[in-house]
Amino acid sequence: MLAQLLAAAAALLLAVLYRKLHYARFQQYAHFPQHAPSLLLGHLGVVDAFIRKEPPRGHADMAFTAMHEALGRPAVMLVDLRPVSSCMVIVCSHEVAEQVSRPTDRWPHTPPKGPEFWESMKPLAGPTSILAAHGEQWRALRKRFNPGFAPQHLMTLLPAILDKVSLCLGQLDTHARAGEEFSLQHIATNLTFDIIGRVVLDFGMDAQTATPTPFMRDFRALIETYTSDHLDLPWWCTPRTQLRRRQLSRRIRTTLRAMVRARHADAHGLRGASAGAGGRSILAMSLRDIGTLTPELVDVTCDQLSTFLFAGHDTTATLMAWAVYELARTPRALAAVRAELDELFGADSSPEAVRDRLLAPGGDELVHRMAYTSAVLKETLRLWPPGSTTRMTRPGDGWAVRDPSTGEMHNLDGLLVYQLVPIIQRDPRAFGDTANRFVPERWLHQEEDGDKAIPTGAWRAFERGPRNCIGQELATIEARVLIAMVARRYDFTKVGQGAVALDKAGEPELDGLGQYKVVSDMYQTREITSKPIDGIRMKVALV
């Protein structure tokens, strides 16, 4: 009798679980465009099948893009990753992305960021990072650090930026003389680490030397623990990696705490002769109005410094590497950049001459007059954005967006909302037949294009709305300065993946849009953010 009761109870339980699972897979979100789900795996099998079709180490976004194409490019696409991750809605339309980033009465600073990715990032960015904060906590942090990222302040740091770029040119000169192959991503990363260390902390990282500081070595080692992660796995899947991250994070935090206390003492004249040192750094500016430096305030400040050090070097380094690659394979664009630099800086293209022009009275205005160069950088970020963004609200919050193609309202409560920037920024509806091609000229005459102008929300490399990137001006200033210093001094040649194809006579061949044909396409991999698959392997020669 007992056995029969247990069997009946088990059958009833299985029936209830089956109904719940069937509802979750086939009914709960059936109104969203999606691939056919599996009862047990949802879309995990679909995602795996598309990933297997992508090149080695390709970013998962490439698989999502292929899935989106196979569905006929809907404005939104549901991907059910339960139980491995949350059920996710991928935003593929700039119209929907604008709705997501628009402030509302319920969320004046846009809905909260998705928690899953940031949980794994805590050892690197800290638990109170401005990137993961929301509501009044985010607003207070943004207000506190905004002055340090104001354009007029950043231009006062131009001499420090130029000093670090000069070190980079020395390395490129060495590679040119040796005729050796190198990773441009690596060169750019070391450069931007040096710049961000000086701008944020007024601290020498020595990243471009053979003996970086212990702090620089620890920070680099911490980032390297993430570079092989292509998925955000729970901590218990990688316990040794998690332990290593915590150890490095503690060492980094100890150094940062000491810096914060020292800069606070400087700002308030508590260290005698040293008072005022580093007063123009972003850290020093953020402490000027802080009277009592509590342990909690020290920790919150350290979280923001960690965030700025990571985000401030990462995006800019990747932008620089991709921009040089695109110029190297697009002779018309390189010629236009060089002509613009000749007009702004004069015929003398030596680093010393460019530096003197930039540091002369009014020279900083030249950085903002590099119209074609700025178009190159914007187009580079369109094709190769460093990352996307997530949002997530709780069930019952009442968050909904309108599908522009169908007019249907989609409730997003409890769903991880992933704005897939590579899809949005390569949308043929916004960018036409050249959506996948490097065409900087598309950005030069937007105000004259009228109805043909690119929709404002279709470019979101630094996101839009109240939570746009606080460091975007610094990133573009650095990149423009680097281009000004290197574009006329060097010829770069891609080797390996993405190398220029040669015809039977051994000459490069142009395609219909004025770019060299290549032996294989470049693509992105995931190393926390999106990176070029081979680090942009290059050879360089002096012009």
Spatial contact of 459 and 382, defined as CB atoms under 8 Å apart: yes
Residues in contact with 98: Cβ distance below 8 Å, sequence separation at least 6, in sequence order: 457, 464
Residues in contact with 440: Cβ distance below 8 Å, sequence separation at least 6, in sequence order: 333, 336, 372, 375, 376, 378, 379
When computed from its CA atoms, the radius of gyration of the chain, rounded to whole angstroms, is 25
Which position has the token pair 């290197």? 486
* Gap between the Cα atoms of 411 and 409, Å rounded: 7
Please list, residue by residue across 449-488, b when 16 or more beta carbons sit within 10 angstroms of its beta carbon and e when fewer do: eeeeebeebbbbbbbbeebebbbbbbbbbbbbbbbbbbbb
Question: Which strand ranges, in their side-by-side order, compose the sheet holding 87-91?
Answer: 76-80, 87-91, 416-419, 389-392
* Gap between the Cα atoms of 540 and 23, Å rounded: 59
Spatial contact of 384 and 59, defined as CB atoms under 8 Å apart: no
If residue 332 lies in a helix (H) or strand (E), which one and from where to where? helix 331-345
237 marked as binding residue: no
For residue 19, which amino acid is it? R
* Gap between the Cα atoms of 400 and 391, Å rounded: 12
> Which stretches of 43-192 are assigned E, i.e. beta strand?
76-80, 87-91, 182-183
Which position has the token pair 């002369």? 360
Residues comprising the chain, all counted: 543
Smallest CA-to-CA distance from 25 within 50, 10, 43 is with 43
Cis? peptide before 159, omega within 30° of 0: no
DSSP codes, 369-421: T-HHHHHHHHHHHHHS-S--EEEE--TTS--EEE-TTT--EEE-TTSEEEE-H
Q: What is the maximum span of the chain, computed from C-alpha positions, in angstroms?
A: 98
In this structure, what token pair is assigned to residue 279? 């007063």
Binding-site positions read: 469
Residues in binding site for heme: 469
